[in-house]
Amino acid sequence: MPDLKEVYFQTLRIRKIEEAIAERYSEQKMRCPTHLSIGQELVPVAISQYLTTRDKAYSSHRAHAHYLAKGGDLSKLIAELHGKSGGCTAGRGGSMHLSDLDCGFIASTAIVGNSIPLATGNALHQQLSQSDGITISYFGDGATEEGAFYESLNFATVRSLPILYACENNQYSVYSPLSVRQPASRSIAKLAAEIGVKSFSVDGNDPQRVLEASQAAIEFIRKERKPALVEYFTYRHREHCGPNFDDELNYREAHEVEEWLANDPLKNLQKLLSSDSDFSHFQARVSEQITQEIEAAFNFASSSPFGDPIDNERYIYAK
């Protein structure tokens, strides 16, 4: 089991980064659609405990936590949100198209479900090139309604590919609840199991359970060279896209929101660590460290220039 303090640190770091983005979003300098990961940070932090840079990750529109947990550069993320040349795609992709090849975060894409085949193709490449790495494909519950999800799992099973399908089930596709999208009896984990993918289902906000399930799935993939899926039940605290809370719209029951806010992964980690006599000191220290790191990243973004539109025709084709 990884050091829980490290898991706490990583989770807190992503939370504070996302909150800093939310706080400054109204300044209108980050001019692109932004889907915050607040409430869902634990899943990628836990998964990333068991990965190296030889393992590659793909994600979807809500990608900040996946990028950061894998080791994606913070300054390049913040500069990207600002559309600056120092951003991870120099302002071409924005929040929904992140990449940091140095750490093995290949890319996130904006169209629901369409990075699942790409990740599966990456796993095919790993198999063909006899790499010992595995691939992580992050997506949400909405993506499991896309044909690409079924088609990819089917092929990964037929071909026995080393890939983890990490489904963060936050139960809403924008404002549409699962109840209007999938039958009440549906379990995404069971669906995947029926396709032939080794599957796990877990409370995505419970640190120990999330670590255990992620470890079990990844060890299975590494050992058997076969696909696995983990369905992590979790919850986004804020609106689908943007910096605000939107509970005044009443699309989620008040008691449901309260229950999930009480089951916040960060709070759960704090509870687990509260008996540690050193924890409050640790908390204060890393919190300050993260604040400074965020400040530096925003300063980098601010000082980074916009690219020159004269280069807009570069890279239409590869050489």
Total residues in contact with another protein, by rule CB under 8 A: 40
Q: How far is the CB of 283 from another protein (least distance, A)?
A: 37
AA letter at 317: Y
Q: Which of 301, 235, 243 is nearest to 262 (CA)?
A: 235
CA angle 276, 68, 126 (to 5 degrees): 115
**Of 46, 69, 148, 290, which one interacts with another protein (CB under 8 A)?**
148
Residue 100 DSSP symbol: B
Closer to another protein by Cβ: residue 130 or 250: 130
Residues 78-107 that bind another protein (CB under 8 A): 89-90, 92-93, 97, 99, 101, 106-107
Q: Is 187 one of the binding residues for another protein (CB under 8 A)?
A: no
Closer to another protein by Cβ: residue 98 or 210: 98
Q: Is 204 one of the binding residues for another protein (CB under 8 A)?
A: no
What does residue 51 show for φ and ψ, rounded to 5 degrees?
A: -115, 160
Binding mask 277-316 for another protein (x = CB under 8 A): -------------------------------------xxx
Q: What is the CA radius of gyration of the chain?
A: 19
Q: Which of 243, 239, 237 is nearest to 259 (CA)?
A: 237
Structure tokens, 260: 């999930």
Burial 162-198 (b: 16+ CB within 10 A, else e): bbbbbbbbbbbbeeeebeeebeeeeebbebbeebebb
Taking every pair of Cα atoms in the chain, the longest distance, rounded to a whole number of angstroms, is 58
Q: How far is the CB of 66 from another protein (least distance, A)?
A: 16
Residues 155-184 that bind another protein (CB under 8 A): 155, 158
Please give the distance of CA 77 from its chain centroid, rounded to a whole number.
14
Closer to another protein by Cβ: residue 44 or 87: 87
Residues 101-140 that bind another protein (CB under 8 A): 101, 106-107, 109-111, 114, 116-122, 124-126, 128-129
**Of 49, 95, 144, 152, which one interacts with another protein (CB under 8 A)?**
152
Report d(CA 316, CA 319) in Å as an integer. 10
Treating both helix axes as pointing N-terminal to C-terminal, what angle do 265-273 and 279-303 enclose, rounded to 10 degrees?
A: 140
Structure tokens, 146: 């896309």
Q: How far is the CB of 14 from another protein (least distance, A)?
A: 22
Q: Which residues bind another protein (CB under 8 A)?
A: 56, 58, 89-90, 92-93, 97, 99, 101, 106-107, 109-111, 114, 116-122, 124-126, 128-129, 147-148, 151-152, 154-155, 158, 314-319
